[in-house]
Amino acid sequence: MANTGRVAGKATLITGAGAGIGRATADLFAREGAKVVIFDINEQKLEALKQELWQTGAEIEMVVGDVSKDADVRRAVQAAVERWGRLDILVANAGIIPLLDVTEATGDDFDAVMAVDGRGMFLSCKHAIEAMLRVGEGGSIVCLSSISGLAGQKRQSTYGPAKYVASGITQHLAIEWADRGIRVNAVAPGTIRTERVQQLPLEPGGPEYLAAIEKMHPMGRIGEPSEVAKAILFLASDDASFITGTILPVDGGYMAQ
Q: Are 142 and 94 in contact (CB under 8 A)?
A: no
Q: Is residue 199 part of a domain?
A: no
Question: What confidence tens digit (pLDDT) does each residue in 125-140 have?
Answer: 999 999 999 999 999 9
Q: Is residue 168 part of a domain?
A: yes
Q: Is residue 162 part of a domain?
A: yes
Residues 6+ apart with CB under 8 A from 31: 3, 56, 58
Q: Write the DSSP symbol of residue 149.
A: G
Lowest mean pLDDT among 96-110, 171-185, 196-210: 196-210
CATH number at residue 52: 3.40.50.720
pLDDT exceeds cutoff 80 at 145: yes
Percent pLDDT > 70 in the chain is 99
Q: Is residue 3 part of a domain?
A: no
* CA dist., res. 219 & res. 254, Å (int): 8
Q: Are 143 and 237 in contact (CB under 8 A)?
A: no
Global confidence as pTM = 0.94
Q: How many beta carbons lie within 10 A of that of residue 168, not counting itself? A: 16
Q: For the chain, how many structural domains are there in total? A: 1
Percent pLDDT > 90 in the chain is 80
Q: Is residue 205 part of a domain?
A: no
Q: Is residue 88 part of a domain?
A: yes
Just list the catalytic residues.
Answer: 159
Burial of 98 (0-12, 13-18, 19+ CB in 10 A): middle
pLDDT exceeds cutoff 50 at 96: yes
Question: What confidence tier does 172 reach under pLDDT thresholds 50, 70, 90?
Answer: very high
Ranges of H-type helices in 55-158: 70-84, 107-113, 120-135
Question: What confidence tens digit (pLDDT) does each residue in 204-253 have?
Answer: 777 887 888 888 999 999 999 999 999 999 999 999 999 999 999 999 99
Give the pLDDT confidence score for residue 56 in this predicted structure.
85
For residue 132, what are the domain limits? Answer: 11-192+224-250
Q: Is residue 91 part of a domain?
A: yes
Residues 6+ apart with CB under 8 A from 238: 6
Q: Is residue 43 part of a domain?
A: yes
